Structure 1
């Protein structure tokens, strides 16, 4: 056990990325047990100006009562990727203890921060809260993937955790809110989470923000529109007829996605996904984020 009953240990990590010799470089890096940052010297083409940071936890997961705080600073015109090597496992809760992971980041002018982890997987009775607070300039760029699976499905655990709360807040540098979002799955308030989620095993949210993301946003919106048209295979008139008849016999699509824009001049896009398999979401992410290879050195979720 990492934490005693009377004392909550706080694990902290921080990374600063600045221009050194004209290239994005890590100028400061701190991590404390059980958190560890791995920063490879090269990912993809050496011509790509990007720093990749892998966040790892000793033991492969987050233990009941862990409190982890990470701070990142991506200075002007720099590019940083924050990712993982496997899903983030949240182990069973001891009593009412809640495991917490908080990320704070500042993204400079014309900079890009891509947060593209593998999904969170909460074990039975786990209680987990994560919060990401980001401060951006008017021309900063962000890619955020925030997703969770139903749990250890093959072991019979399906949405069997007690609490999952994920908050993503993006603010402009003057403090004005740009995007505020919270996903809450609380067994105490909802009853059976599994009943609400039905056959869906994964929920995901993808945020694309900034001038460098405009082309990707357009491609994603077009693809989601086409995908859902094919999935539903019903005209708007037919859908209205189904609702009027309250006919629920129509089979549920195995993959559902929607898009909406936000921010001044529609500079941001949020994509929400519900799927019956984890692999289908990985495939979706690989396809939708593939154009980022030119900025990140390699395609995400390759």
Structure 2
């Protein structure tokens, strides 16, 4: 359901310079998961969103709690892994498919913990999602936490149809902050791609790895959490227009910025077959995960009635 893409990986050839080359990571065979959602109609009205396919293999597990949403027209999917995290070489492949006119929340029970690399094995995670016309996918995982000496790579590809919408949250931390770890992983590589009718409309790539000239912890200064939230599609037009006015307006003279949390916003505008499509990208840096949870909860609160609840509740 999703195409494999070779991503550039940073590798040191000598002590003086860092070269970038394309190669596939060394990891184990895929652990696959698949979830398919369909709408249920009665007398021409949407009455429920139903999961019709739910498949997964170890160490991946997918949960569909029935009482988490207060509305039957939104289904929540929890993605978890046995053992509390991903070990070196784990290779997760998750496919999600929404038919027309579905609303689905994809989240996690806790942060995605990535343990240290062994024998140069890379921990990999791939998500491929297809969102039908008129559907809304709200993808809100907890942050990725790479432990000391971890090597992690993820690729997330979202295919939208005309009239479908997407909320995508992707964020990561410096490691086990309580243990004093501060950007001590080997590498973190994340690629997020959004296609509209098979046309690439958004791509964001993050590659973090120490170089001889600049270690990651020095580049990040005092910040321990970095995140990005993309909102795109007609179902979110009121929300991202509101956010652009609130977060994008010029600050008054003498405004005192909060150093602990930095939030920026930029619009997404592009044309598809003569129709102008809109969206926005919100980026945040903070000292703690609690600060980002609070900020994301405030930004997305207008969506909670449609989702039937608050996906950030009881998480901080």
Q: Is structure 2 residue 293 aligned with structure 1 residue 282?
A: yes
3-state SS of paired residue (2:251): helix
- In the TM superposition, residue 28 of structure 1 has moved relative to its aligned partner by 0.5
| Cα separation, 2, equivalents of 1:104 and 1:141 | 15
Would you tell me which structure has more helix in proportion to its own residues? 1
The 5 Å alignment of 1:1-302 reads: 8-21=28-41, 22=46, 23-46=48-71, 48-173=72-197, 175-188=198-211, 191-225=214-248, 229=251, 233=255, 253-262=259-268, 263-264=270-271, 265-302=276-313
Relative to 1, partners in 2 of residues 1:294 and 1:198: Cα closer, same or farther, differing over 3 Å? same
3-state SS of paired residue (2:222): coil
Contact 1:232–1:253 (8 Å) recurs in 2: no
- In the TM superposition, residue 44 of structure 1 has moved relative to its aligned partner by 3.0
| Cα separation, 2, equivalents of 1:232 and 1:199 | 24
Contact 2:139–2:169 (8 Å) recurs in 1: yes
Contact 1:133–1:168 (8 Å) recurs in 2: yes
Matched residue, 2:12: none
- In the TM superposition, residue 92 of structure 1 has moved relative to its aligned partner by 0.5
3-state SS of paired residue (1:206): strand
Unaligned stretches of 5+ in structure 2?
1-25
State the TM-score, normalized to the length of structure 2.
0.83
3-state SS of paired residue (1:29): strand
Would you say how many aligned residue pairs link Structure 1 and Structure 2? 278
Contact 1:142–1:207 (8 Å) recurs in 2: yes
3-state SS of paired residue (1:26): strand
Runs (4 or more) in structure 1 with deviation over 6 Å come to none
Would you tell me which structure has more strand in proportion to its own residues? 2
Contact 1:38–1:55 (8 Å) recurs in 2: yes
3-state SS of paired residue (2:83): coil
Relative to 1, partners in 2 of residues 1:253 and 1:45: Cα closer, same or farther, differing over 3 Å? same
Contact 2:230–2:282 (8 Å) recurs in 1: yes
Query: Cα RMSD over matched residues?
Result: 2.1
State the TM-score, normalized to the length of structure 1.
0.87
